[in-house]
Chain A
């Protein structure tokens, strides 16, 4: 019973996600169409030459037609070719070369950020008004208010330039070590917001009647924290994980630039600057996909931990 409902729910969500993606794609197309400039910004090119190029890539056709062709191609896994960055290289290829390192850093940052953030917040809540609590609050304020690229600069100055512990810029010969500073700079915002949020959630839960009742049973403090407080505090925390992950994606653009990481973020920025339409659309699409995927995943997780939602879904 439960499995069937689960599958049905996932199916429904998938269809909704696909529709959302389709709409996003269309809006992207529209926006790029109205953006000034063209992918072929070489001033030496004559009007005639430009016209030929436009014709060659089908850019002279009406917007609707181009959109349909794009979607048709996309369904076969073809995201078009790059116009200017790496002329005629397929976008799929370009993305598949840059995506792994970006995903790696993004995942590292979100895992490190949320885990440390949650632990920090929980311990601060349990020792409310202690020295540790003030310290955690300090870290949170710092992390939320200092932009990631400033952190990136500080970290590189201290750990790479002064003490030479990590490579200053990305180097493929030291792939993992090169990701540590970017991960740290990237995760700090997530870590700080999660710490602050977990602390206040936890404090709120500790004041609840059901915690009083559980405590009145005579269970130990440890049992109370593990079985009741953390579990209930986790529910709202999980909901903020999704938007924070999105923040992380945005932050990765800057961080990749700062550390010269050959990731998708760097490619994205370059493509936008060069008006390389297909690359921009391709990467935006991948970002949207990751975003929607994250929301979906978090939603499922949420259902797993909160029976009210789980059952409500089953009912529908």
Chain B
């Protein structure tokens, strides 16, 4: 992939939190490339470090957070020229004035708590516009109308005059989306934007994000732990576990040819993929907190297929094809031939079949 294609590249990002029980190593060398105009999904169980990753991009840092190493390079497009900026090196002021809201915007998980309860909706959207645009109030109000129309709100006047608590969760998430796209950002970060919503509304919001992404040629980072959602929205998938990417590839790679046992576990535990009336398998155990120095593959303890070496050394990335990589010793030429679990195999075959027919 050429340099120009990539809008954001996170390189070897390591982050830790100071805590009473020691240093919590939340990210341990995360590398992610976001291709311009495409959607990448980051999936993984709770606590794997998805939010920490994107919050660091947006510089929403906790007091006890420390960036150990790495860079986040944003390839800013200005007059057809690409200017790479390391976001970690920018001053707060610069970040606030030039990046946040203007180049990179974010949609948060819980729409019920993401809007200021004491401010009218219209004003909250206007504030986002005025943060980066020097225009007259009338023109700005006109833009608010257009934005609200874009996100599918009908009674625009009433909504502008409403306070957040007067709107439903779905409506509020539409407002949050309107705020996010108000200054035409290049990159949109969505941290589980539908998790807090009803299933029916989830799918509507998802469609909306997809529509906006297409219409504006946005690049999107989409965080979720729902693989069903991923298959609907993403071009590329990064599977994250314990502060590391363990497998990444295109949607097809991850869904039809998963290689990492953790990805297998995730796929097996996804209800959307339960075409057969089997009981859902779930990954045994829970992710452990990484405090102090860690050794070996963090997933080893929960991994049915763990090899001896997994407990001693972290696996590097092995190449499956040009765009598909997985960090598991199972891909080592000398590793025993372990096949994907039979039930998952069957499911994938069914899916392929269905795709061919539908």
Interface residues of chain A, those whose CB is within 8 Å of chain B, are 128, 208-221, 223, 227-228, 231-232, 235, 305-308, 311
Contacts and interface: CB of A to CB of B under 8 A. Distances in A.
A218 B118 contact: no
B179 A213 contact: yes
Nearest to B128: A217
- A interface, over-half SS: helix
Contact of B100 (A208, A217, A228, A308): A217
B116 A214 contact: yes
Given A219-B96, A311-B163, A213 B114 contact: yes
Given A215-B100, A307-B120, 6 more contacts: A213-B116, A214-B124, A216-B106, A220-B97, A221-B96, A235-B118
A217 B60 contact: no
B127 A210 contact: no
Contacts of B97: 218, 220
Given A232-B116, A308-B117, A308-B165, A216 B105 contact: yes
Interface string B332-355: 000000000000000000000000
Given A221-B96, A306-B118, A216 B113 contact: no
B163 A228 contact: no
A219 B124 CA distance: 11
Nearest to A220: B96
Contacts of B166: 311
Contacts of B115: 210, 213
Interface residues of B, number: 33
B281 interface: no
Interface of B: 58, 60, 63, 92, 96-97, 99-102, 105-106, 108, 110, 113-120, 124, 127-128, 131-132, 163, 165-166, 176, 179, 183
B114 A219 contact: no
A215 B60 contact: yes
- Residue from A128, A215, A216, A223 having most chain B Cβ neighbours under 10 A: A216
A220 B92 CA distance: 10
B117 A212 contact: no
18 contacts: A209-B108, A210-B113, A210-B116, A213-B108, A213-B114, A216-B60, A217-B100, A217-B127, A217-B179, A218-B131, A223-B127, A227-B119, A231-B118, A232-B116, A232-B117, A305-B118, A306-B117, A311-B163
Contact of B114 (A210, A232, A305, A311): A210
A259 B163 CA distance: 50
B131 A219 contact: yes
- Residue from A208, A214, A232, A235 having most chain B Cβ neighbours under 10 A: A214
Given A214-B116, A218-B131, A221-B96, A307 B163 contact: yes
Nearest to B116: A210
A212 B108 contact: yes
B94 to A, nearest CB: 11
Contacts of A212: 60, 108, 114
A293 B102 CA distance: 49
B197 to A, nearest CB: 15
B260 to A, nearest CB: 32
A217 B117 CA distance: 16
A308 B117 CA distance: 8
A217 B131 contact: yes
For the complex of A and B, the 8 pairs showing the least CB-CB separation, nearest first, are A218-B101, A218-B100, A209-B113, A217-B128, A217-B101, A307-B163, A210-B116, A218-B131
A211 B101 CA distance: 14
Contacts of A235: 118
Contacts of A210: 113-117
Contacts of B120: 307
- Residue from B119, B120, B165 having most chain A Cβ neighbours under 10 A: B119
A128 B62 CA distance: 13
A211 B163 CA distance: 16
Nearest to B125: A217
Contacts of A209: 108, 110, 113-114
